[in-house]
Amino acid sequence: MKIFVDSADVEEIRKLWRLGFVSGATTNPSLVAKAGGDPKDIYEELASFLEHVSAEVVAEDADGMYREGKDLSSIHPNIVVKLPFTEEGLKALQRLKAEGVRVNMTLVFSPAQALIAARVGADFVSPFIGRIDDIGYSGMEVIRNTVRIFALYDINTQIIAASVRHPTHFIEAALSGAHISTVPPAVLWKLLKHPLTDIGLERFLSDWRKVQEAKVA
Ligand code: E4P
């Protein structure tokens, strides 16, 4: 499973990328608004060091989505256009695919939506785990069933486990066979930490220091 950062905060993403395990980022209008600044600069900068940067359209009609999608994809070859799973989004998806633009279908909440998006040509689908859990259903089940359906029919569309809220979501997405998990920075920092790593290192170093001190004495 590849690991993406779910954020538009360039500095935070760069910090995580420097550790070597992040290969992409997914943004959305809320995240870009929170980051501030010119969205085009954010996408351009992220795409200069990441292989995948999802940039979402804000138009609600297919013509507008198509035009925005074309503009976004012209910023950098690593930009993937994010379209919402709506009827207009499906129309825009067909037009963008016909022109070779890579698309990530977002706001996917069921395996049926994922299958339809894949059949229309989406390169990526993003089921939102956390938001499904929030309304009392199982987000992970949507991931598991989508993985199964895509395997049964040899579908190449990649599944991005999105709306990840905690480390357990991340591990379960990996076990379920999601191709990618897009994870907020706060959760990624938690994944790096384990109390036994800190305790273990402290013990190794103190044992080492004791021997060195004994040699000197
Ligand atoms: C996916 O690409 C979205 O940015 C996303 O994961 C939104 O998740 P949220 O439910 O935490 O807003």
Task: Output the domain CATH number for residue 190.
Answer: 3.20.20.70
Q: Which domain holds residue 153?
A: 2-216
Q: What is the pLDDT along the chain (217 residues), one digit of tens a residue?
A: 999 999 999 999 999 999 999 999 999 999 999 999 999 999 999 999 999 999 999 999 999 999 999 999 999 999 999 999 999 999 999 999 999 999 999 999 999 999 999 999 999 999 999 999 999 999 999 999 999 999 999 999 999 999 999 999 999 999 999 999 999 999 999 999 999 999 999 999 999 999 999 988 7
Residue found by looking up tokens 């016909």 in the block: 98
Q: Is 126 in the pocket of ligand 1 (CB under 6 A)?
A: yes
**Distance (Å, rounded) from C-alpha 86 to C-alpha 146?**
18
Q: What is the pLDDT of residue 216?
A: 86
Catalytic residues: 82
Q: Which of 163, 170, 179, 181 is the best mutation target for the ligand 1 pocket, counting ligand atoms within 8 Å of the beta carbon and taking the most?
A: 163
Sequence-separated (6 or more) residues with CB below 8 Å from residue 19: 192
Domains held by the chain: number: 1
Q: Give the distance (Å) from ligand 1 centre to CA of residue 4.
A: 12
pTM of the model: 0.95
CA-angle at 75, arms to 72 and 78, nearest 5°: 90
Burial 107-133 (b: 16+ CB within 10 A, else e): bbbebebbbbbbebebbbbbbbbeebb
Q: Give the distance (Å) from ligand 1 centre to CA of residue 211.
A: 50
Residue type, position 91, single letter: K
Q: Is 4 in the pocket of ligand 1 (CB under 6 A)?
A: no
Work out which ligand 1 atom sits closest to the CA atom of 54: 2
* Residues in the chain, total: 217
DSSP labels, 79-100: EEEEEESSHHHHHHHHHHHHTT
